[in-house]
Structure 1
């Protein structure tokens, strides 16, 4: 799964204060993204963008609007994929084989390279690793360690250094292959956090642009309405505000109450 926008924005998303990050709630995600896409198209038109920047919206913020939208889409897709993933038999077998190989390689390296202080220190980091991504990296590192110290294993008749190193690289390749790459990049918790950060960042941009647009076009009712959420307008027109998410949220993070401040639209609900 390609995530160019999310990759580009990741440093910015990771720098967000955790206290400011929240899970989406209050509006269906597909609706939120569709409205954000329409707003991006409107706000980045040259003549509109000029008016927005004239009242204080930073050029850099507008320049990131489309990337932020793409990052939110990609982060949501990643979170959906992680939640619904089903590991293939090949992947599960590679994990089991890799864990067994790592144990054998660690024991063999600890014994045959026991007099090498630098190697002993390096092996500590391998032992501390956790997760499938760490497993793949550990197999690569241990295979390289064996190759670089091949002579030290010659006297160990119980360990075929050449064959084990080659096998370790093959298992690592399976773990890090295209079919498994995204599973390894994101744990469930990590994918959810990145999804929440991407939506928080996009929602902040959406709110700023909506407010700026309504201010700029305060004397043009038709244009001002284009900067408001058509989803929430339905409830306002009927004098009703739906405070319940339209889709259930994941058990570990119940939906938060909707912000009913009329100057700020609630954050969207996840699917």
Structure 2
């Protein structure tokens, strides 16, 4: 519509449409395209992170459970270590689970003797530490991006509002100026109306072709 309106300016401006508004509209459309793309990217990243979290979380919780069970038994005669395990087990959120991994991994590495004595693979403690970092970063994408998501959506919505204001005004002028030009006025109509009009023309053409074939 903008490209058509540029050519139509000689007919639009005499009725009061300001040419500089068309320039502003181009800028706002560009800003809207960029902000929409940015917002969609943020939403996509978040959705992908949510999918990965759902796939990887079960293994994380299984590792936590395995560490707890083995440490409870290995440290059964050590009240101090049992007290630490009690503290670690208090939280129940996803963030707590990630912290549990890190604390359990550290606890196991710092008190490996009793664990190796019961045949526990101490390498699982290192796995817990590395997984806590990875899952922490993943959870940040799932939850921590909420602010970015809101901010980019606000920017997108503002760009949309500004753009719509200028688009609606241009449409009003275009529909009035070219109200007697059935084809040209469609440039100032919604895509839905343009599609309906195109569909109508196709149907009419098909009817004419069918009638022609019937006559012949």
TM-score bucket (shorter structure)? 0.3 to 0.5
TM-score relative to the length of structure 1: 0.38
TM-score relative to the length of structure 2: 0.46
Q: Work out which structure has the larger RCO, using CA pairs closer than 8 Å and 6 or more positions apart in sequence.
A: 1
Task: State which structure, 1 or 2, has the greater radius of gyration over its C-alpha atoms.
Answer: 2
